[in-house]
Structure 1
Amino acid sequence: MKNFFVTALGVLVGFQYAGAAEKKIIRISTDKTDLVLQVAENGRLYQTYLGEKLLHEADLENLDWQIHPASDASVSTRGWEVYSGSGNEDFFEPAVGITHADGNASTWLYYVSSSSKSVEGGTQTDILLRDDKYPVDVTLHYVAYEKENIIRTWSEIKHQEKKPVQLFRYASTMLYFNSPSYYLTEFSGDWAKEVQMNTQKLVFGKKVIDTKLGSRAAMHAQPFFMVGLNALASENQGEVLMGTLGWTGNFSFTFEVDNVGNLRVIPAVNPYASNYELAKGEVFTTPEFIFTLSYNGTGEGSRNFQEWARNYQLKDGKGSRLSLLNNWENTGFNFNEEILVDLIRETKELGVDMFLLDDGWFGNKYKRSGDTAGLGDWEATADKLPGGINALVQAAQKEGVKFGLWIEPEMVNPQSELFEKHPDWAIHYPNRDTYYYRNQLVLDLSNPQVQDYVYGVIDKLLKENPGIAYFKWDCNSPITNIYSSYLKTRQGRLYIDHVRGVYNVMKRVKENYPDVPMMLCSGGGARCDYEALKYFTEFWCSDNTDPVERAYIQWGFSQFFPAKAMCAHVTSWNKNASIKFRTDMASMCKLGFDIGLKELKAEELQYCQLAVANWKRLQPVILDGVQYRLVSPYESNHMAVNYVSQDGGKAVVFAYDIYPRFQEKLMRLKLQGLDPNKMYKVEEINLMPGTNSTLKENEKVFSGDYLMKVGLDVFRFQPGQSRVIELTAE
Structure 2
Amino acid sequence: MITVKGDKTPLFILDTGHTTYAMKVLDTGHIEHLYYGRKIHLDSEDGLTEQHEFAPGTSVVYSPEHGNISLEDMRLEMSSYGKGDVREAFVEIVNTDGSRTSDLLYKGYAESKGRDGGTEGLPTSFGEDAEVLTVTLEDKDNHIRLELIYCVYSDTDVITRTSRLINDGDGDIRIRRLMSTQIDFDPGDYVFSTFTGAWAREMKRTDMSVASARLVNSSYTGNSSNRANPFVMLSSRGCTEDYGDVYGFNLVYSGNHYESVEKSPYGKVRFLSGINPTSFEWKLAKGESFLTPEAVMTYSSTGYNGMSGQMHDFVSKHILRGPWKDRLRPVLLNSWEASYFKISESKLMRLARKAKQVGIELFVMDDGWFGERNDDTTSLGDWFPDTAKLPGGLKGICDKVRALGLQFGIWVEPEMVSRESGLYLAHPEWAMEIPGKSHSEGRNQMVLDLANVEVQDHIINVMSRVFSSAEISYVKWDMNRNFSDVFSRSLPADRQGEVTHRYILGLYRVMKTLTEKFPDILFEGCASGGNRFDLGILSYFPQIWGSDDTDAAVRAEIQTGYSYGYPMSCVTAHVSDCPNHQTLRRTPIETRFNVASFGVLGYECNLVDMSKDDLDAVTAQIAMYKKWRKVMQFGRFYRRSSVNDSIGAPGFSCLEPLPGNDTSWTVVSADKSRAVSMTMQILTHPNAQWGVLKPMGLDEDTKYHIEGRKMKFDLREFGGLINYVAPIHVRQDSLQHRTIARFYKMKAESESHDMYGDAMMYAGVHLRSAFASGGYNENMRYYPDFGSRLYTIEKIDK
TM, length-normalised to structure 1: 0.93
1:689-708 Cα shifts (integer Å, max 9, x gaps)? 8654414xx33311112111
1:64-121 Cα shifts (integer Å, max 9, x gaps)? 1277763447274332221112222212111011111111211111112222233224
Tell me by how many angstroms 1:577 deviates. 1.1
**Could you tell me which amino acid in structure 2 is paired with residue 246 of structure 1?**
V
**Deviation larger for 456-465 or 546-555:** 456-465
Tell me by how many angstroms 1:510 deviates. 2.1
Alignment of 1:187-226 (within 5 A): 187-215=195-223, 217-226=224-233
Tell me the residue number matched to 1:477. 481
**Could you tell me which amino acid in structure 1 is paired with residue 55 of structure 2?**
A
**Could you tell me which amino acid in structure 2 is paired with residue 727 of structure 1?**
I
- Structure 2 residue 80 is the aligned partner of structure 1 residue 85: yes
Alignment of 1:87-106 (within 5 A): 87-106=82-101
1:92 partner SS: coil
Say which of 486, 490, 508 aligns to 2:490: 486
CA distance in 2, matches of 1:122, 1:635: 42
Tell me by how many angstroms 1:631 deviates. 2.2
Tell me by how many angstroms 1:387 deviates. 0.6
1:618 partner SS: helix
Which is higher, the Rg of structure 1 or of structure 2?
2
Tell me by how many angstroms 1:688 deviates. 3.2
1:607–1:686 contact (8 Å) kept in structure 2 = no
Tell me the residue number matched to 1:16. none
- Structure 2 residue 658 is the aligned partner of structure 1 residue 619: no
Tell me the residue number matched to 2:162. 154
Q: Across the two proteins, how many residue pairs are aligned to each other?
A: 703
2:698–2:757 contact (8 Å) kept in structure 1 = yes
Cα gap change, 1:271/1:617 in structure 2, threshold over 3 Å: closer, same or farther?
same
1:355–1:401 contact (8 Å) kept in structure 2 = yes
2:712 partner SS: coil
1:242–1:293 contact (8 Å) kept in structure 2 = yes
1:591 partner SS: strand
1:6-62 Cα shifts (integer Å, max 9, x gaps)? xxxxxxxxxxxxx987530111221111111111111222211111111x2325444
2:76–2:183 contact (8 Å) kept in structure 1 = no
- Structure 2 residue 570 is the aligned partner of structure 1 residue 589: no
Tell me the residue number matched to 1:74. 64
CA distance in 1, matches of 2:264, 2:162: 24
1:451 partner SS: helix
- Structure 2 residue 181 is the aligned partner of structure 1 residue 173: yes
Tell me the residue number matched to 1:64. 49
Tell me the residue number matched to 1:556. 561
Tell me by how many angstroms 1:469 deviates. 0.6
Tell me the residue number matched to 2:694. 670
Tell me the residue number matched to 2:679. 655
Tell me the residue number matched to 2:368. 360
**Could you tell me which amino acid in structure 2 is paired with residue 294 of structure 1?**
S
Say which of 722, 727, 730 aligns to 2:788: 722
CA distance in 1, matches of 2:51, 2:607: 64
2:75–2:185 contact (8 Å) kept in structure 1 = no
Tell me the residue number matched to 2:716. none
1:686–1:724 contact (8 Å) kept in structure 2 = no
Tell me by how many angstroms 1:525 deviates. 0.3
Tell me the residue number matched to 1:341. 349
**Could you tell me which amino acid in structure 2 is paired with residue 599 of structure 1?**
D
Tell me the residue number matched to 2:774. none
Say which of 139, 143, 166 aligns to 1:135: 143
CA distance in 2, matches of 1:42, 1:477: 48
**Could you tell me which amino acid in structure 1 is paired with residue 43 of structure 2?**
A
CA distance in 2, matches of 1:531, 1:67: 42
**Could you tell me which amino acid in structure 1 is paired with residue 392 of structure 2?**
G
**Could you tell me which amino acid in structure 2 is paired with residue 174 of structure 1?**
Q
1:196-249 Cα shifts (integer Å, max 9, x gaps)? 11111111131112221113x4131111111112x1421111111111112211
Tell me the residue number matched to 1:43. 29
Q: Unpaired runs of 5+ in structure 2?
A: 115-126, 646-657, 714-744, 771-782
Tell me by how many angstroms 1:575 deviates. 5.7
CA distance in 2, matches of 1:558, 1:599: 34
Cα gap change, 1:700/1:377 in structure 2, threshold over 3 Å: closer, same or farther?
same
Following superposition, which runs of at least 4 residues in structure 1 exceed 6 angstroms of deviation? none
Alignment of 1:392-541 (within 5 A): 392-465=397-470, 467-489=471-493, 490-541=495-546
**Could you tell me which amino acid in structure 2 is paired with residue 642 of structure 1?**
T
Tell me the residue number matched to 2:131. 123
CA distance in 1, matches of 2:660, 2:489: 53
Alignment of 1:366-381 (within 5 A): 367-381=372-386
Say which of 725, 749, 753 aligns to 1:694: 749
Cα gap change, 1:590/1:68 in structure 2, threshold over 3 Å: closer, same or farther?
farther
**Could you tell me which amino acid in structure 1 is paired with residue 354 of structure 2?**
E
Tell me by how many angstroms 1:160 deviates. 2.2
CA distance in 2, matches of 1:575, 1:125: 53
Tell me by how many angstroms 1:304 deviates. 0.7
Tell me by how many angstroms 1:438 deviates. 0.6
Tell me the residue number matched to 1:684. 708
2:333 partner SS: strand
**Could you tell me which amino acid in structure 1 is paired with residue 475 of structure 2?**
F
**Could you tell me which amino acid in structure 2 is paired with residue 85 of structure 1?**
S
CA distance in 1, matches of 2:53, 2:509: 44
- Structure 2 residue 666 is the aligned partner of structure 1 residue 642: yes
Q: Unpaired runs of 5+ in structure 1?
A: 1-18
1:271-326 Cα shifts (integer Å, max 9, x gaps)? 11112111222221111111111111111111111111111212333221121000
